[in-house]
Structure 1
Amino acid sequence: MIRALFWWLLALWSLAATAEETLHYPADPEAGTPQQLIVHAALDLPQVRPVLEAFHRSHPRIELTYRNLTTLELHQRFLDAPDAADVVLSSAMPWQYHLANDGHAQPLESDVVRRWPAWAQWRGELFAFTFEPIVMVVHRDLIERFGEVRSHEDLLELLNEHADALAGRIVTYDPVRSGAGYTYAIEESRLSPRYWDLVSALGRARAALADTTGEMLDGLEEGRYLLGYNLLGSYARDTVAEHPDLNMVVPEDYALVTQRLAFIPRLAPHPEAAALFMEFLLSEAGQRTIAEQTHLGGMHPSLSGPGTADALREEVGDALRPISIGPGLLATLDRLKREALLARWRREFQREVPPLR
Structure 2
Amino acid sequence: MNRLSRLASRWLLLLGLIGTPAGADETLHYPATPDSGPGASLVIHGALDLPQMRPLLEDFHHAHPDLDLRYRNLTTLALHERFLAAPDEADVLLSSAMPWQYLLANEGYAQPLETQAAHDWPAWARWRHELFAFTFEPIVMVVNEALIERYGEVRSHADLLALLERHAEALQGRVVTYDPATSGAGYTYAIEESRLSPRYWDLVAALGQAEAELVGTTGEMLEGLIEGRYLVGYNLLGSYAQERLADQPRLKIVVPEDYALVTQRLALIPRQAPHPAAAERFLDYLIGETGQAVLAGKTTLGAIHPALEGPGTATSLRQERGEALRPITLGPGLLATLDDLKREALLTRWQREFSRRERR
TM-score, normalisation: structure 1: 0.97
Pair 1:7 & 2:9 matched: yes
Q: Which amino acid aligns with 1:61?
A: D
1:327 matched residue in structure 2: 332
- The farther-off stretch of 99-108 and 10-19 is 10-19
Q: Secondary structure, in 3 states, of the residue corresponding to 1:34?
A: coil
Q: Distance in 2 between matches of 1:173 and 1:285?
A: 35
Shift of 1:340: 0.6
Q: Distance in 2 between matches of 1:240 and 1:204?
A: 28
Residue from 155, 163, 171 that aligns with 1:166: 171
Q: Distance in 1 between matches of 2:7 and 2:344?
A: 12
Pair 1:266 & 2:271 matched: yes
Q: Which amino acid aligns with 1:4?
A: R
Q: Distance in 2 between matches of 1:305 and 1:209?
A: 35
Residues 5, 84 of structure 2: 8 Å contact kept? no
Q: Distance in 1 between matches of 2:148 and 2:24?
A: 39
Residues 136, 231 of structure 1: 8 Å contact kept? yes
Residues 299, 309 of structure 1: 8 Å contact kept? yes
1:244 matched residue in structure 2: 249
Residues 50, 293 of structure 1: 8 Å contact kept? yes
Distance 1:334 1:307, change over 3 A: same
Q: Distance in 2 between matches of 1:6 and 1:347?
A: 28
Q: Distance in 1 between matches of 2:37 and 2:295?
A: 28
Once the two structures are superposed, residues 149-206 of structure 1 have per-residue CA deviations (whole angstroms, 9 ceiling, x without a partner) of: 0000000000000000001000000000000000000000000010000000000000
Once the two structures are superposed, residues 57-115 of structure 1 have per-residue CA deviations (whole angstroms, 9 ceiling, x without a partner) of: 11010110000000000000000000000000100000000000000000010111111
Once the two structures are superposed, residues 6-33 of structure 1 have per-residue CA deviations (whole angstroms, 9 ceiling, x without a partner) of: 3222011213375410000000121232
Q: Which amino acid aligns with 1:9?
A: W
2:205 matched residue in structure 1: 200
Residues 18, 70 of structure 1: 8 Å contact kept? no
2:103 matched residue in structure 1: 98
Distance 1:17 1:77, change over 3 A: farther
Residue from 49, 56, 70 that aligns with 2:54: 49
Q: Distance in 2 between matches of 1:189 and 1:104?
A: 31
Q: Distance in 2 between matches of 1:181 and 1:2?
A: 22
Q: Distance in 2 between matches of 1:17 and 1:7?
A: 20
Q: Secondary structure, in 3 states, of the residue corresponding to 2:110?
A: coil
Once the two structures are superposed, residues 216-272 of structure 1 have per-residue CA deviations (whole angstroms, 9 ceiling, x without a partner) of: 000000000001000000000022211011000000000000000000000000000
Once the two structures are superposed, residues 122-146 of structure 1 have per-residue CA deviations (whole angstroms, 9 ceiling, x without a partner) of: 0100000000000000001110111
Flag structure 1 segments of 5+ consecutive residues without an equivalent. Answer: none
Shift of 1:313: 0.9
1:123 matched residue in structure 2: 128
Q: Secondary structure, in 3 states, of the residue corresponding to 1:248?
A: strand
1:292 matched residue in structure 2: 297
Q: Which amino acid aligns with 1:13?
A: L
Q: Secondary structure, in 3 states, of the residue corresponding to 1:252?
A: coil
Pair 1:216 & 2:221 matched: yes
Task: Give matches, 1:341-352, under 5 Å.
Answer: 341-352=346-357
Q: Distance in 2 between matches of 1:34 and 1:18?
A: 30
Pair 1:71 & 2:72 matched: no
Residue from 172, 188, 194 that aligns with 1:189: 194
Task: Give the aligned CA root-mean-square deviation in angstroms.
Answer: 1.2
Q: Secondary structure, in 3 states, of the residue corresponding to 2:246?
A: helix
Q: Secondary structure, in 3 states, of the residue corresponding to 1:341?
A: helix
Residues 5, 335 of structure 1: 8 Å contact kept? no
Residues 89, 260 of structure 1: 8 Å contact kept? yes
Which runs of at least 4 in structure 1 moved beyond 3 Å after TM superposition? 1-5
Task: Give matches, 1:145-156, under 5 Å.
Answer: 145-156=150-161
Pair 1:225 & 2:209 matched: no
How many matched pairs? 355
Q: Distance in 2 between matches of 1:182 and 1:335?
A: 13
- The farther-off stretch of 2-11 and 103-112 is 2-11
Q: Distance in 1 between matches of 2:315 and 2:347?
A: 35
Q: Distance in 1 between matches of 2:297 and 2:139?
A: 20
Q: Secondary structure, in 3 states, of the residue corresponding to 2:337?
A: helix
Residues 234, 296 of structure 1: 8 Å contact kept? yes
Q: Distance in 1 between matches of 2:22 and 2:350?
A: 26
Flag structure 2 segments of 5+ consecutive residues without an equivalent. Answer: none
Q: Distance in 1 between matches of 2:58 and 2:359?
A: 58
Q: Distance in 2 between matches of 1:159 and 1:99?
A: 40
Q: Which amino acid aligns with 2:290?
A: A
Pair 1:25 & 2:27 matched: no
Q: Distance in 2 between matches of 1:352 and 1:112?
A: 52
